[in-house]
Amino acid sequence: MHFADRLQHAIDKTDSRIVIGIDPDPMRIFAPGSKLQQSFSGKSKEHLLETFCVMVIDVAKQYACAVKPQAAFFESMGITGLTVLSRIIKYARNLGIPVILDAKRGDIGNTARAYAAAYLHPKSDFFVDALTINPFLGPDTLEPFVEMANENDCGLFVLVKTSNPGSSAFQDLKVTEEDCTSVQTVFEKVAASVAAIGNLNLGNCNFSNVGAVVGATYPENLTRLRQLMPRTIFLLPGYGAQGGTAEDVKPAFLKDGRGALVSSSRQIIFAYEQLDDLRPAPEEIYQAIADAARKTRDDVNCAIASI
């Protein structure tokens, strides 16, 4: 099934447009006094890491349309982290939950092809439904990823306008065309390229398998980006802990409530840190994460209903 159709099926099934980011920051989950560590006292770091990720995935099955593991945190934990990453990818996909790996890969030639094979080939230990990629080395560096994604019914999310405060330093620079007839920002140029590439592979839902990463922290850009990319699925990081709100993301959605995914990580997965109990039961940790996920889903749905 085409990636966009698979994603739309998950949205319809869960009535959710949120993606839960799995960001197992070792500075938090393994910190002295960590409530998670206290709850699973005596267990190995590998057991704790996998249990935490599985708990988040189980919550996502009910309240989210996808999960988004952040590769950096798993890589920072070496072989243990990579082993757990492989297992939780397979766990989520076996449950029918789309997995978007946030790795922001980008390179040239054979290296790009190797990255594509690492995440978008069915024989890989890290085979996911979609991958975030960096376009700023040029359009030719996207080709190996697009080819591999098309071959295996996978998706891509291309960095267009990122959520971090410093993104404007480069992405908002204005570019004058050679004929001096128009001026566009860098992110608008990238958006136009994403739309052109994506329009070559639309699913039955009429959306492309090549999506765009667009920060929820820049709502003023969303209307323009939607004009440039009408058939592109937006992945909207920056909701929650980074300051983005449900009202902020509304311009990313079409009037029928389709076309965008709201990503939230820390606000959901670390909700258990607010529990009063210094050593909460595993069931309490799960419930805290589930309550935060449900609230995020409902807040987004409420905002979208008013479009």
* Catalytic residue numbers, as ranges: 104
Locate tokens 């589930």: which residue? 290
CB 5 within 8 A of CB 280: no
Return d(Cα 23, Cα 85) in angstroms, integer.
11
Return d(Cα 100, Cα 8) in angstroms, integer.
14
Give the DSSP H or E segment for 297.
helix 282-305
Running DSSP on this structure, what letter comes out for residue 17?
A: -
Give the DSSP H or E segment for 53.
helix 45-63
- Token pair of 83, please? 């082993």
Return d(Cα 92, Cα 295) in angstroms, integer.
22
Give the contacts of 114 (CB within 8 A, at least 6 positions apart). none
Count CA atoms within 13 Å of residue 188 on its CB side.
14
Running DSSP on this structure, what letter comes out for residue 298?
A: H
Give the DSSP H or E segment for 113.
helix 109-120
In Å, the largest CA–CA distance within the chain is 67
